[in-house]
Amino acid sequence: MSDVVEKTLTALPSLLSLDSQPGSAKLSSTSKLGNLVRGITELTSKHEEEKLIQRELASIKEQVSSPNTSMRQMKELMVRAIYCEMLGYEASFSYIHAIKLAQQGTALEKRVGYLAVSLFLNESHELLLLLVNTVLKDLQSTNLIEVCMALTVVSQMFPKDMIPAILPLVEEKLNHQKEIIRRKAVLALYKFYLIAPNQVQHIHNKFRKALCDKDPGVMTASLHIYLQMIQENPEGYKDLTASFVTILKQVVGGKLPMDFNYHSVPAPWLQIQLLRILSALGKNDQSTSEIMYDVLDESLRRAEMNHNITYAILYECVKCIYTIHPKSDLLEKAAKCIGNFVLSPKINLKYLGLKALTYVVQQDPKLALQHQMTIIECLDHPDLIIKRETLELLFRITNAQNVTVIVEKMLDFLRVSTDDYTTIDLVGKVAELAEKYAPDNEWFIETMNTVFSVGGDMMQPDIPNSFLKLLSEGFDSVEEDRKLRLFAVDSYVSLLQGEPGKLPQRFLQVISWVLGEYSHLRAELQPSTVMRLLSKLLDTKNTSSETKTWVLMTMTKLCEGAAGVSVAQEVSEAYSSSLDTVLRQRAQELQHLSQDSELRARVVPRDAGLEPLEVDSSLSFLDGFVSEALAAGAAPYKPPHQRQEELAQAKALSLEPYGLSLPISISSCSIADRQSPTLLSMSSGLSGDSTDLSHKGGSTTLKLDGVKRVWGKEGYLAQREPVEETAQVEVPSPFRSPSQQAEADSSHSQTPTPVPTPEPTQERQQLASSLFVGLSSQSSVCLMGKSESAPQRFKRKAKSPSSSSGASEQISNSLVSAPSTVDNLLCDNLLDANISSELAVSSPTQTSRLSQSLTTANGTCDVELTNTKGSNPSLIRDISVAVAADSTPHEDPDKPKDLCLSSHLPAELSGFSHSEITPLCSNQSLDLSACHVQQKDSLVLVVFIYNSSYSDIQQILLELDSDDLEVSGVCGSPVQEVGSQSVAVCQYSLSVKRPSVHVEVGGMVSYQLPVGTPQSAQFSYRLPLTSFIRPLTLSTEEYGTMWLAFSHDTKQNLTLINAGHESLAATLNVLKKKLQLHIVEIIGLEGIVACRLLQDQPCLMHCRVHAGTLAVWLRSPVPDLPDCLMYYCQRALQEH
Amino acid sequence: MRFLLLFSRQGKLRLQKWFTPMTDREKKKVIRDMMTLVLARQPRTCNFLQWRDLKIVYKRYASLYFCTGLDDQDNELLTLEVLHRYVELLDKYFGNVCELDIIFNFEKAYFILDEFLMGGEVLETSKISVGVSMEEADTLQETMEEYMSKPAY
């Protein structure tokens, strides 16, 4: 290659001078781009620039559309258009010309065309489709440069749907002679894998070939794909571990050609990629980890040069060592390495050192202790980034003893931080720590106050939610609860008396809720006083209407006594004519309830936060109302989708466009369908299940995201025990005086601190002792194997069991009264309906009044309520995953030959059900038969070659081909010869390219007898599509979203198996058994079923019992699949 | 790697490369944010930043800032060296590269980048010059046949 390089380099100057845009700036004075650029730099104002560019664009536009413009000029114009776009001016008129240039230009012009396309258009741009043909052409070109360009543009941007069109050509390039083409092809396939993993699944074998490529560059490129695949499924690639280790060993040992070195480090990019792969493979796997210990050790040892690139390798190495199964001496070395990073004067290394510490500190808190002085220094670092990273580290080592100091530091940072993302993140962390380790009530409430005021309205909504939940659910001690709530009330009242206008909306909502629930705890506080404070909020201009609703709700709870009622009347009058319907509704409620104290006591009972509320989500209390209405001649309610369907049936011709009707009907169906408990659980905004997780583990362990604690007593800790013990002695106990602590610390810390302690250092050490207190004791606890539960203050009570089956759903009463979802009108109505459902039990007259007011608030409400008439939701949850059941006939024992053939089935396939072994073709010397084996994720075609002659048959070549199927050989080298009277077995993995009812594989076998000419025979094998169908397990919600996304559908009425009122379940079970479907859920007269075609192409089925038949509706993203499946459903039911 | 931006100290964009799909609006936002973030950095501070969920690695070469956005698992130091290698390549091609070279020949800078990085991953880890040779070999119009007839190296 080197002479090519030499030649090119020497040719460069002359080439450049030929070019209209020479390679150096001083020559560019003549070019038009040069003029443009210079023109712009001479301008003084933005306005002038705009004028100039517009003029420029106008002239470009004129020239590109002129037919006389040559491609060479076009190239030049394109460059200028790119420049204008880069400056932020639109030049969309040139897009089409860019594509044209890529199509028609030669070499450099084409290249500029491709560049312009990749800069102008993004993946979804419609013009991109025009590029596909050009790319196809260039991929087939004999000019290497054109192939390279096509591969480059393909990896940059290519419409996902068009990948199949060019995939074979790119695949072909994997075998190209030039390594640069192979390398680019591999990277292009990597890109395809990222955007559409399904499409490249079948070429995994070829990736292996790329991994073994003789060119290290191609091998490096293939590692990108492997890293991705291994991270997704480490189990599948464990066998490659040894190969990766060998490669790394060779690289580290300097076995690669010199030109792979970067600053005399051998192929650093390759090394780092391999280290990442190894850590993904060795994670939680002792035996795999053991293979790599040696090479990791060597990598650590070899990387000793003082250069960024070696540090990059070291950093990756350390991360790997701490990710895989631990080994003590490696860990020691890694720890030392982290020390070098942290103590480095280079700020970048320090930053990475902190990152590494953060990564490992949960496994090895000692390490943080060792570097405590450095950490303290970093905490005061002028660079905010370093500071931020230090806080992240401190967050990981927080415990009950150091929480106040750490949270203080975090809040300090929050007050100066201007970055929203950081604020949101940090606020969440403070809230988490406060909840976990709060030392006392005052501190907790005050910290949360700061969190709410600093976090403002940007913070995650689950923070206020879980705070309120904590307050309302309470802890183990009633007295503690009371104190906490009381303190919160006091603090909020004083806040409201101050300047509440400056507080964020979320905080105001929290305040108003807490005051509504708990202000009665403070006996001397008059409810009317609180109400007046709150009404001040209503008058403030920048209070959002959502907050106003919260305030009105609170008032509803508080309006007691004459003073309170008069405030309530005032407020409700003001808002009962509000344009905001939710607000108006609340005002109405306030008005009614403030006048009727008896009803109010029932609707908003005081202190009822803990009692779960029975919610009759079937709204059975309305049955009476509905039957009355029906008796009076009202038409029975039909859900919208049913109406639509009946409408469609009534017409002879369905004129509605396909696909359009469905999204509407399904979404409205899910709204109307009150029987589904999922809706409730989704919409109750306060239930915050995700936040619960962090509280359930009530011990000292921190929430470790992403990092698994791989430490075992027998592994790393046992050998470190003596060290830990000494550390334990030295650890400052919290009972010692601060000066003693500092003393103990300075003697303990291994960082080189000067012995005569100057004043500022003293301060730092005090800070250190308060920050790192409890760290080592914590680890010694786990050393001795005790699991001491932390002195955690706010330990949640065990959650009341919530029933998820049946129609009733429990919602905590307090949650209902909090309008957590005011912005969601529907949910709000739902909650109101729940309130009225309670009332319905006792006072029907009141209810009707209330529900009437509901009706006025939202007109659709009553329609939906009637929906539940006589509903008796029986939710049959089919949890069991459908087991692979073969629908095709089993082998026939009467056929002895079959029997003996089936004994030749490869061992790894024998556990699976296989079809009958059918003869393919036979002649005097050779008998071919085949069967297919259904595995969980694949279908294997097994071909048996039986040599019935008395001589060996040689040079057997078996070729399979199919229009509908993708055929790939499974394992080993193809059979070449078969001894006499013996059987050879070939395996092929099949996947569906294009679904049809029966798919067929054609094939040809050619062979040669010892004497005579080569012979051949043709055969074909047919198999039903059902062999490729597997159950698809998903939840109802997932089903819902998928359903809407699919475009190919078909509808048909099928016969129902008559089994009384269970007929739907019986029918579906038959289908499940015969076709391997998965029944997602059966609700009443409707059932939803899911399956997938192998290689993850789903097909969804929706069935409804209607007039004695089963209305089946199939949808899938794959064309023809619904039709084929419908055929099999019909057959399965007929056969039954 | 998600993106690579080159901009001047005055906040003028010189080169942009996006390795993952993004809408034009997002791109504009990223460019604006990167410029304000990076240009506000004091000298001799850390070369790494956190922006949303991305790691930002930037480096200043003369009057130009090179700025990249990384995924969480990417290695910051390594990326710093990727930037450095890119500058080396530009240097090799232009011969003591300066900002003006990149302004006036930005398409060349793109081509070199395309040969060096593909889909956000380093394509050409080895031979500095191969990138350059491929880069300009296009004008040589070499065909497959010519390549094959050449003596092996």
- Nearest Cβ partner for A155 among B15, B80, B118: B118
Q: What is the distance in angstroms between the Cα of A735 and the nearest Cα belonging to chain B? A: 39
Q: Does A83 touch chain B (CB under 8 A)?
A: yes
- A143 neighbourhood in chain B, CB within 8 Å: 141-144
Q: Does A33 touch chain B (CB under 8 A)?
A: yes
Query: How confident is the model at residue A607, as a pLDDT?
Result: 59
- For residues A706 and A956, the model is more confident at A956
Q: Is the pLDDT of residue A725 over 70?
A: no
Query: How confident is the model at residue A844, as a pLDDT?
Result: 42
Tell me the angle at which helices A759-771 and A372-379 cross, rounded to the nearest 10 degrees.
Answer: 100
For residue A247, what are the contacts with CB-CB under 8 A and spacing of at least 6?
A219, A270, A274
- Nearest Cβ partner for B125 among A267, A276, A383: A267
Confidence label for A612 from pLDDT (cuts 50, 70 and 90): low
In a mutational test of the B interface, the residue from A42, A308, A391 whose CB has the highest number of chain B CBs within 10 Å is A308
Query: How confident is the model at residue A761, as a pLDDT?
Result: 66
Q: Residue B22: closest CA among chain A residues belongs to which residue?
A: A122
Domains A907-1027 and A1032-1135 share a fold: no
Q: What is the distance in angstroms between the Cα of A701 and the nearest Cα belonging to chain B? A: 24
Rounded mean pLDDT, A573-578: 84
Residue range A913-936, pLDDT digits in tens: 777 788 887 777 778 888 888 887
Q: Does B62 touch chain A (CB under 8 A)?
A: no
For chain B, what percentages of helix, strand and coil (3-state, to nearest 5) are there? Answer: 45, 25, 30
Rg (CA), chain A: 37
Q: Which of residues 72-111 of B touch A (CB under 8 A)?
A: 73, 75-78, 80-81, 85, 93-95, 98, 100-101, 103-108, 110-111
- B73 neighbourhood in chain A, CB within 8 Å: 276
Q: Residue B45: closest CA among chain A residues belongs to which residue?
A: A383
Query: How confident is the model at residue A783, as a pLDDT?
Result: 32
Residue range A998-1020, pLDDT digits in tens: 788 888 888 777 777 777 888 88
Q: Is the pLDDT of residue A1074 over 90?
A: no
- B129 neighbourhood in chain A, CB within 8 Å: 2, 5, 9
Q: State the amino acid at position A855 in one-letter form.
A: T
Q: What is the distance in angstroms between the Cα of B49 and the nearest Cα belonging to chain A? A: 6
Number of cross-chain residue pairs from A and B with Cβ atoms under 8 Å apart: 208
Confidence label for B128 from pLDDT (cuts 50, 70 and 90): low
Query: How confident is the model at residue A277, as a pLDDT?
Result: 94
The upper half-sphere exposure of residue A794, i.e. CA atoms within 13 Å in the direction of its Cβ, equals: 30
Distances (CA, A) of A17 to A12, A959, B106: 9, 56, 17
- For residues A748 and A241, the model is more confident at A241
Closest by CA to B127, choosing from A312, A7, A216, is: A216
Residue range A642-701, pLDDT digits in tens: 777 776 666 545 444 454 444 443 333 333 343 433 333 333 333 333 333 334 333 333
Q: Does A538 touch chain B (CB under 8 A)?
A: no
Rounded mean pLDDT, B107-118: 85
Say yes or no for a CB contact (<8 Å) between B104 and A276: no
Confidence label for A477 from pLDDT (cuts 50, 70 and 90): confident
Residue range A369-389, pLDDT digits in tens: 888 888 888 888 888 889 988
Say yes or no for a CB contact (<8 Å) between A82 and B107: yes
- For residues A612 and A1058, the model is more confident at A1058
Q: Is the pLDDT of residue A107 over 50?
A: yes
Q: Is the pLDDT of residue A1122 over 50?
A: yes
Confidence label for B98 from pLDDT (cuts 50, 70 and 90): confident
The CATH T-level fold of domain A1032-1135 is TATA-Binding Protein (3.30.310)
Closest by CA to A847, choosing from A560, A634, A623, is: A623
The average confidence (pLDDT) of chain A is: 74
For residue A793, what are the contacts with CB-CB under 8 A and spacing of at least 6?
A437, A438, A439, A440, A444, A475
- B126 neighbourhood in chain A, CB within 8 Å: 216-217, 257, 259-260, 267
- B77 neighbourhood in chain A, CB within 8 Å: 308-309, 311-312, 315, 348, 352
Q: What is the distance in angstroms between the Cα of A352 and the nearest Cα belonging to chain B? A: 8
Q: Residue B124: closest CA among chain A residues belongs to which residue?
A: A217
* Residues comprising chain B, all counted: 153
- Nearest Cβ partner for B77 among A28, A34, A308: A308
Q: Residue B92: closest CA among chain A residues belongs to which residue?
A: A9
Share of chain B above pLDDT 90, in %: 29
Two tokens at B24?
């034009």
Say yes or no for a CB contact (<8 Å) between A142 and B144: yes
SS3 A469: helix
Separation CA B103–CA B6 (nearest Å): 10
For chain A, what percentages of helix, strand and coil (3-state, to nearest 5) are there? Answer: 60, 10, 30
Across A321-325, A837-841, A843-847, the highest mean pLDDT is recorded for A321-325
Share of chain A above pLDDT 90, in %: 7
Of A273-287, A527-541, A551-565, A677-691, minimum mean pLDDT range: A677-691
Q: Does B51 touch chain A (CB under 8 A)?
A: yes
- B19 neighbourhood in chain A, CB within 8 Å: 156
Say yes or no for a CB contact (<8 Å) between A216 and B95: no
Separation CA A945–CA B35 (nearest Å): 68
Query: How confident is the model at residue A194, as a pLDDT?
Result: 87
The number of angstroms, rounded, from the C-alpha of A829 to the middle of its chain's C-alpha atoms is 32
Separation CA A109–CA A1059 (nearest Å): 73
Q: Residue A256: closest CA among chain B residues belongs to which residue?
A: B126
Say yes or no for a CB contact (<8 Å) between B111 and A1: no
Query: How confident is the model at residue A779, as a pLDDT?
Result: 41
Q: Is the pLDDT of residue A789 over 80?
A: no
Rounded mean pLDDT, A814-824: 39
Q: Is the pLDDT of residue A1034 over 80?
A: yes
Residue range A508-525, pLDDT digits in tens: 999 988 888 888 888 788
Which pTM was predicted?
Answer: 0.61
DSSP class of residue B52?
T
- Nearest Cβ partner for A144 among B42, B44, B144: B144
Q: What is the CATH number of domain A907-1027?
A: 2.60.40.1230
CA dihedral A383, A387, A389, A392 (to 10 degrees): -170
Q: Is the pLDDT of residue A969 over 80?
A: no
- B122 neighbourhood in chain A, CB within 8 Å: 269
Query: How confident is the model at residue A663, as a pLDDT?
Result: 41
Q: Which of residues 1106-1125 of A touch B (CB under 8 A)?
A: none
Contact A269, B80 (CB under 8 A): no
Q: What is the CATH number of domain A233-371?
A: 1.20.930
A830's enclosing H/E stretch is helix A825-842
Confidence label for A1132 from pLDDT (cuts 50, 70 and 90): confident
Confidence label for A1094 from pLDDT (cuts 50, 70 and 90): confident
Residue range A123-171, pLDDT digits in tens: 778 888 888 889 999 999 888 888 888 998 888 888 888 888 889 899 8
Query: How confident is the model at residue A1065, as a pLDDT?
Result: 84
Q: Residue A309: closest CA among chain B residues belongs to which residue?
A: B78
- For residues A245 and A737, the model is more confident at A245
Say yes or no for a CB contact (<8 Å) between B132 and A5: yes
- For residues A102 and A1084, the model is more confident at A102
Q: Which of residues 116-135 of B touch A (CB under 8 A)?
A: 118-119, 121-127, 129-130, 132-134
DSSP class of residue B2?
-
Query: How confident is the model at residue A905, as a pLDDT?
Result: 74
Q: State the amino acid at position A1019 in one-letter form.
A: F
Q: Is the pLDDT of residue A98 over 80?
A: yes
Say yes or no for a CB contact (<8 Å) between A268 and B143: no
Two tokens at A220?
């490096």
- Nearest Cβ partner for B125 among A1, A9, A217: A217
Q: Is the pLDDT of residue B53 over 80?
A: yes
Q: Residue A269: closest CA among chain B residues belongs to which residue?
A: B125
- A8 neighbourhood in chain B, CB within 8 Å: 132-133, 136-137, 140
Of A261-265, A981-985, A1084-1088, B136-140, minimum mean pLDDT range: B136-140
Residue A905 class from Cβ within 10 Å (0-12 exposed, 13-18 middle, 19+ buried)? buried
Share of chain B above pLDDT 70, in %: 80
Rounded mean pLDDT, A588-607: 79
Query: How confident is the model at residue A748, as a pLDDT?
Result: 44
Separation CA A1009–CA A2 (nearest Å): 52
Q: Is the pLDDT of residue A739 over 50?
A: no
Taking the CB of residue A522, how many other CB atoms lie within 10 A of it?
A: 15
Separation CA A454–CA A415 (nearest Å): 7
Q: Domain spans of chain A? A: 233-371, 419-519, 526-600, 907-1027, 1032-1135
Q: Is the pLDDT of residue B147 over 60?
A: no
Q: What is the distance in angstroms between the Cα of B121 and the nearest Cα belonging to chain A? A: 8
Say yes or no for a CB contact (<8 Å) between B125 and A112: no
Separation CA A425–CA A435 (nearest Å): 16
Say yes or no for a CB contact (<8 Å) between B48 and A348: yes
CATH classification number, B3-149, choose in 3.30.450.60, 1.10.8.420, 2.40.50.100, 3.40.50.10470: 3.30.450.60
SS3 B6: strand
Instruction: Tell me the Ramachandran region of residue A390: left when phi exceeds 0, alpha when psi lies from -120 to 50, beta otherwise.
Output: alpha
Query: How confident is the model at residue B15, as a pLDDT?
Result: 92
